[in-house]
Each structure stands twice: as C-alpha cells, then as structure tokens.
Amino acid sequence: MTLDRASGALALLAPHEKLLLAVSGGPDSVALMLLCAHWPERASHEIAVATVDHGLRADARAEAEQVGEWARSLSFQHHLLSWEGEKPQTRIQERARTARYALLADCAKSIGAGAIVTAHHADDQAETILFRLTRGSGVSGLAGMAPRASTHDVALLRPLLGFSKSELVEACEIAGHRFFCDPSNANDAYARARLRKLVPLLAEQGFDREALLRLGERAARAEAALASCAAAAYERTLAESAPALARFDAGALTELPLDILQRILGREIARLAPQAQLRLDRLERVADRLSRALGEKAPLRLTIADLLIESDGNNVILRPAPPRRST
C-alpha cells in the first residue's frame, strides 16, 4: 500500500474538519487509525477515535481500553462507548450493529464531528453483496456499501473500500502494530460466518471477490440511472406536496415503468412516515397493485406504513391513515 494511494483514499475525509474514527481493535480499523495518523492533511483536521463495547464478550472491555491506549499514543482523543441494558436473544449481530451506529452517531454529535469513518474494505463489500444476493435484494442492495452515506443524521464515510483485508493486515504488520481478532467472525451461529465458509467453493466456480465487486459496480451504475429517472418522473408527476400529504397525477403515473413508480412511492413513504421500517417486498406488492389499478382506471384504497394510498383515476394521494376503530 503506497502513501499516495492511502492519501488518495483518505481524501474522502477532507471536507469534514472534525472526524470520528470507529475503531474496534481489529486489523481493519487499526489500519484505518494508523493511516489517519500519517495522513498529510491530519494537521488541518480534528480526529477522534471511538470504540464500542457491546458487552457480548468477556474480553471486549479490556480490548476497548487497549484501543484507547493505542489511540492516545497516536495523539487521538478516545471515547469508549457501551451498549447498556439487556441484550436481545435473536438477530444479535444485526441489533448490535444498529446499537453501534446509534452510539457512534451520538458520540459524533456530542463532540461536533461532521462524519463517522469506518474501515469497511473490499472483502467486506464483496461479502455484503453476496449476503444481499442470498436474501433476494434489489438493485440498490446489490450495489453494496457506498463510500458516502449517512446514519442518524451524521455523514458516514468508508474510505477503504478499494483496499483488500490482506492489505490492511499488512499495513499493521509493517507498522509493527498489534490488533485483535474477534472470534465471532468464525462463529457458525451467525449467518455471515456461515456464508464466509462458502467463499472458497464459490471462487472455484468463478464467483470470487472480483466477480462480486464487478456485480456491485454494475448494480451501482444501474441504481444511479434508475434514481435519476425516478427523480425526473417525481418532478413530472407530483401535483401537490404538503407536510402530511402528497398528490400525484394519476395519468402521468400510469405511463411509468413499475420500478420507477415503486421508487416514487418509496420516496414519499419515507418522507411522510420516516420512522417506518418498510420492507422491499411489501413496497413491491403495493406498487404492483397501484400500477394495475392505474392501468385499469380502477379505484384503489390501501394502507402501508400507517399511510393511506388512494387512487380515483385522476389523482393518487398519500396521507396518514385515519385511526383504527376500536372494537
């Protein structure tokens, strides 16, 4: 890994004066911390480090405290964050990830950091694409992780997506810096750990990391094209927008491909019901029903995410659903 290549990757961080690095103590995040320590633009940025103790392993606290010592030795301020309370018995990794990002976002806001920086790399990206592929994800999911995203209203940056895990391990070894290995990464109780064991078999069939990354890049290009088309169609079909209402021209919506109609619905549902956990398959079914009703010029009335969608042949209206009658 050359200094120029590393500096080029970290240019993603440059617009943010204050940054919070998420460092667990594994080789990936330790490499991120080391690269940021030697980043030519470090002097013009305020960089802090945060480690989350999920309370799921006996050694986790001591490891988090050790990360703190490493961070301070590199002149980074360190924040040790704890996931408090009773832990769930199911979907533990998913819920731990949700809790981790919430804690990181709270920490970033409290110190005035404009972005959280994670050490996701090319192997993580390929694994994410494969995982989503097995779950029947749509185009946006198969695009994988974006270098720039957001979480809890804080920018989320992933500057190392162009580096392999082996390169990051090598960066630690060249620096002579220790790191920890999380045993849960090999625990078959977790879906991702089981999926990793399939990787060599898939690679033998040509479905290796590079093939998965190519799939992700193609899906990302398709996603960008669809998003652009959907944005243009949204402006063309929207007749009225208010804090608790959206009205579209039914005739204009009728002309749209199903996927574009679905994206328009998804956008408005996210605006009108931002707390809703909307499943893709549910959105697909609603979009399909609306598309068929529009094509047949038939009235339609249905609910999704506590929103009422009504079509009368002239307008399609989304608004909060009325309270359910008590029985």
pTM recorded for the entire structure: 0.87
Task: Tell me which residue has tokens 């606290």.
Answer: 61
Question: Would you state the pLDDT for residue 101?
Answer: 97
Question: Would you state the pLDDT for residue 94?
Answer: 86
Outline which parts of the chain fall under CATH 3.30.465.
229-320
**Mean pLDDT of the region 59-71:** 96
Outline which parts of the chain fall under CATH 3.40.50.620.
3-197
**Mean pLDDT of the region 83-107:** 90
Residue 209 has pLDDT above 60, yes or no: yes
Residues 6+ apart with CB under 8 A from 159: 9, 10, 12, 13, 32, 117, 147
Residue 172 has pLDDT above 70, yes or no: yes
Reported as a single tens digit per residue, the pLDDT across 121-133 is 999 999 999 999 9
E-assigned strands of the chain? 18-22, 46-53, 77-82, 115-117, 148-151, 154-157, 238-242, 245-249, 300-304, 307-311, 315-320
Question: Would you state the pLDDT for residue 327?
Answer: 52
The domain defined by 3-197 folds into Rossmann fold (3.40.50)
Question: Would you state the pLDDT for residue 75?
Answer: 97
**Mean pLDDT of the region 164-170:** 95
Residue 2 has pLDDT above 80, yes or no: no
Exposure of 85 in the CB half-sphere (CA atoms within 13 A): 6
Reported as a single tens digit per residue, the pLDDT across 240-288 is 999 999 999 999 999 999 999 999 999 999 999 998 888 899 999 999 9
- Residue type for position 127: E
Confirm or reject CATH 1.10.3470 for domain 229-320, answering yes or no: no
